[in-house]
Amino acid sequence: MASRGRFIRNIKTVIGGTLAAVLIRMLSVTIRWECVNRSGLTPQDTTRAGIFVFWHGRMLMLPSWYFRIRGRRAQLPYMLISQHGDGRLIAFAVRLLGIHSIAGSSTRGGANAALEMIEAARNGSDVGLTPDGPKGPRYECKDGVVLVATKTSLPVYPMSYSTERRWQLGSWDGMIIPKPFSRGVVVFGEPIDPVGCDDPDQLRMRIQDALRQTTERADGHWASL
């Protein structure tokens, strides 16, 4: 019975993950995107890895946007994905989108996951984290990103996105789903250099404040036009 259950779960992961990846690609293509403040990042700037951070509720469209910003680097990027709930399905979907995953979170497998992220970054791969995942509170940065940043001395790039027309889920993270053929914006904050910051909590707050500001800037983008 156990093997049958695993087989069914694997089938659901493959089917669900494939559908999710296809839908994300198709939806992203319909959006009229623009980018605000690329933080100096271009597809030609591939010499140094970076740490890309974004809120859990704003991650849906960012995998496809990552490659517009960074191009195809020699090392594929890694993303930290929770072991909870639909984590395996999400991991399968992002793999189809060209991103490796590392399983772990602040509440399960966090220490090993952090070590894997640090190793990947030291080997030249970009890494992506949702500092308020996997269960919130929304828009509150946890310590994992601080550990990865201080151990690798790599710049932290806060990023967020919004669309003019969207649905917002009633989940803890308030995930937004763009409506097709809407206008969209991706906003980068200025890169945060962890070198010389001896207070982990201060660095955590810098990242948290930067992410909140980029999200507010993204949501208010069309009101300012």
Contact between 138 and 171 (Cβ < 8 Å)? no
- pLDDT given at position 85: 58
Q: For residues 179 and 17, give the distance between their C-alpha atoms in angstroms, rounded to a whole number.
A: 20
- pLDDT given at position 2: 59
- pLDDT given at position 147: 94
- pLDDT given at position 156: 96
Give the global pTM.
0.91
- pLDDT given at position 84: 66
Q: What is the DSSP letter of 179?
A: P
Contact between 161 and 61 (Cβ < 8 Å)? yes
Which stretches of the chain score pLDDT less than 50? none
Cα dihedral across residues 82, 87, 90, 91: positive or negative: positive
Backbone angles phi, psi at 49, to 5 degrees: -75, 165
- pLDDT given at position 8: 76
Q: Say which residues have a Cβ less than 8 Å from residue 224's Cβ, sequence separation at least 6.
A: none
- pLDDT given at position 89: 84
Structure confidence by residue, pLDDT tens digits, 3-44 = 776 777 788 888 988 999 999 999 999 999 999 988 777 666
Q: Say which residues have a Cβ less than 8 Å from residue 77's Cβ, sequence separation at least 6.
A: 52, 66, 70, 98, 99, 100, 125, 126, 127, 128
